[in-house]
Chains A and B, each alone.
Chain A
């Protein structure tokens, strides 16, 4: 079952939400690929699966909680080690809204 075709605008909207910059060729290619994924999902949706509970996790269990015990985190030098632009005590980020 098909009938769903993503428009170029829809592809651009989804890309903007994911902060992806796409050129026109990519919009065209990804539109085709996403349409085919949606068609696949629609094929599944057409199956008689109303009584099958959704599978959200690979394990069929619950309540994997941990006790509320605090442990020291990373030393700050280590925490900042991979930061692209560390300051003395933090992660510097570019101006927002610029």
Chain B
């Protein structure tokens, strides 16, 4: 755990509700395409428009992906789960109820571990499958403001698309830990391929339940719900702002109201949503139009057995292999980069050297060219050939960077070819280096004198001069040794 949020005798109590849009081909309860970015109201049918008599049929793949997510997050998977109706009136829900799950969710309790020296665990309450709501396009104004009598236009492309809601216990103790937890959870869902989890596009949405209580208390204070923070930074800042607001209220002797709040990142302030709405009374009841969904142990074992390596396990493996925590975390949460690393490490036989290249030159190039690891022209095979030339002493680090740039620029080039064409092979061997050293020492008698007089640091200057003389190709280690020997004689 990072340093917990504690101020003036109070501590933070944070739980998250995370909505993940599943990337199935069709919607949750009908066969309409699950493409809600298309032209408005082009992926709709009688079922998702709630025409009378139209009946839902659950999507097997959405169920399967939800169970995979549950298994990946360490949830118990009950034998039987059921759908329920959640009643509410709003134009984004044409049936006037949402099909969700209530007392029998697909995924039950779990424990998710955020690894690392200051790691922590978060208990998961459940994960349940439901249908998303439609999108409201508010007419008459910037920023989606509803104005005047213009009303709104509803796009039902998104209604009925599959949504997995993951609910945590209030086990998180700081805004930073909320971000760390969500980062790893997101990476886990991406790793198993159930969703793109793009917060900006809304395929991952996080609400936070926030309260404060006296340090050491086991009771919970009144919580508020922060809605739909659409980036990790806003999640962290929104929760921080809400903790400060609650502390201010408590210290002023005022009451904290249970309410839903919206964080405005441009002003850093929180405003109350739907404050006029009466207390939630969704009157859940079993969905009579859908049969229960069952799981058998054999299928569950098969699904669990075929999960890919998950970010938490990858973090553990990379840490145990000696990578520093920050590096292990970046690689653990980026499945594409990690796959590249594993391929490269297999070819070079040294995970640490491979990781240095992946985190250094490769990542700089991927960022600069806006590429994913698998799109890079520098394949693990080409980079491994370059690393081999460094390891066997053919080229030094400076030359290696030049070769890397050449491999990026020309997809047909090979490391050995670039070294030969540009004459980058390292100048090693006592004779070749000796000649350079002799020339440099002869040209800088004052510095030689100074070194012999005790100013040891002058050697840095002399090394630099020799390196320059060699065109940057000198074997730096051999050069140092030889230079010292020559100066001391």
- Per the bound structure, the CA–CA distance linking A83 and B258 in Å amounts to 37
Kindly state whether residue B154 has any CB partner on chain A within 8 Å: yes
Stretch at the interface among A22-30, A43-51, A62-70: A62-70
Within the assembled complex, what's the spacing in Å between the Cα atoms of A47 and B281? 29
- Is B34 part of the binding interface, using a Cβ–Cβ cutoff of 8 Å? yes
- B149 in contact (CB, < 8 A): yes
A70 touches B291 (CB 8 A): no
Measured between alpha carbons, how far is A19 from B89 in the docked complex, in Å?
A: 8
Interface residues of A in 46-98 (CB under 8 A from B): 56-59, 61-74, 76, 79-80, 87, 89-97
Residues of A within 8 Å of B87, CB to CB, are 17
Residue of A nearest to B150 (CB): A95
Tell me which of A62, A65, A93 contacts B152 (CB under 8 A): A93
A28 CB, nearest partner CB in chain B, Å: 23
The segment from B59-67, B120-128, B202-210 that touches chain A is B59-67
Stretch at the interface among B39-47, B445-453, B475-483: B39-47
Measured between alpha carbons, how far is A58 from B291 in the docked complex, in Å? 10
Interface-central residue, B26, B87, B283, B294, by most chain A CB under 10 Å: B26
- Is A93 in contact with B91, judged by CB distance below 8 angstroms? yes
- Report the bound CA distance from A24 to B366 in whole Å: 71
- Distance in angstroms between the alpha carbons of A63 and B290 in the assembled complex: 9
When distances are taken between beta carbons in the complex, the residues of chain A under 8 Å from B62 are: 68
Q: CA A76 – CA B32 in complex, angstroms? A: 13
Q: Is B250 an interface residue (CB 8 A)?
A: no
Pick the contact of B60 from A16, A66, A80 — CB < 8 Å? A66
| B31 neighbours in A (Cβ, 8 Å) | 66, 69-71
Q: Is the CB of B82 within 8 A of A70?
A: no
A69 touches B26 (CB 8 A): yes
Q: Closest residue of chain B to A65, judged by CB? A: B60
Within B106-122, the residues touching A (CB, 8 Å) are none
Say yes or no: A92 contacts B152, CB within 8 Å: yes
| A: number of interface residues (CB 8 Å) | 34
Residues A90 and B26 in contact, CB atoms below 8 Å apart:
no
Query: How near does chain A come to B449, taking the closest CB pair, in angstroms?
Result: 81
A69 CA to B281 CA in the complex, in Å? 35
At the interface, yes or no: B151 with Cβ under 8 Å from chain A? yes
Residues in chain B near residue A73, CB distance under 8 A: 30, 32-33, 42-45, 48
CB-defined interface of B12-46 with A at 8 Å, one 1/0 digit per residue? 00000000000011100011111000011111111
Question: Given A90-B155, A93-B152, does the pair A66, B39 have CB atoms closer than 8 Å?
Answer: no
Q: Which residues on B sit within 8 Å (CB–CB) of A87?
A: 153
Residues of B within 8 A of A69 (CB): 25-26, 31
Chain A residues touching B, majority SS: loop
- Give which listed residue, A65, A68, A70, A97, contacts B293 with CB less than 8 A: A65
Cβ B60 vs Cβ A93 within 8 A:
no
A80 to B150, alpha carbons, bound, how many Å? 19
Complex CA–CA separation, A64 to B63 (angstroms): 12
**Closest chain A residue, CB of each to CB of B149:** A95
Within 8 A of A (CB), among B262-316: 276, 278, 281, 283, 286, 288, 290-294
Residues of A within 8 A of B137 (CB): 90
Residue A70 contacts which of B25, B149, B283 (CB distance < 8 angstroms)? Answer: B25
Closest to A85 in B: B151
One of A16, A67, A90, A93 near B40 (C-beta < 8 A): A90
A16, A63, A67, A69 interface centre (most CB from chain B within 10 Å): A63
Docked pose: A91 CA to B146 CA in angstroms = 16
Contact partners of A71 in chain B: CB under 8 A: 26, 31-33
With the chains together, A89 CA to B137 CA distance in Å?
Answer: 11
Distance between Cα atoms of A16 and B290 in the complex (Å): 27
Most buried by B among A63, A66, A68, A89: A68
Residue of A nearest to B29 (CB): A66
> Closest chain B residue to A87 by CB distance?
B153
Docked CA distance A94–B152 (Å): 7
- What 0/1 pattern do residues 76 to 106 of B give for CB contact below 8 A with A? 0000101000010111000000000000000
In the assembled complex, 10 residue pairs joining A and B whose CB atoms fall closer than 8 Å, in A order, are A56-B82, A63-B291, A66-B57, A69-B31, A73-B33, A73-B43, A74-B44, A90-B155, A91-B41, A97-B146
Give me the interface of A with B, judged by CB distance under 8 Å: 16-17, 19, 56-59, 61-74, 76, 79-80, 87, 89-97
20 new A-B contacts, CB < 8 A, other than A65-B63, A79-B44, are A56-B82, A57-B286, A59-B291, A62-B294, A63-B292, A63-B294, A65-B59, A68-B24, A68-B60, A70-B25, A72-B32, A79-B49, A79-B156, A89-B39, A90-B154, A92-B153, A92-B154, A93-B91, A93-B152, A96-B91
Nearest 4 Cβ contacts at the A-B interface: A68-B61, A65-B60, A90-B153, A70-B26
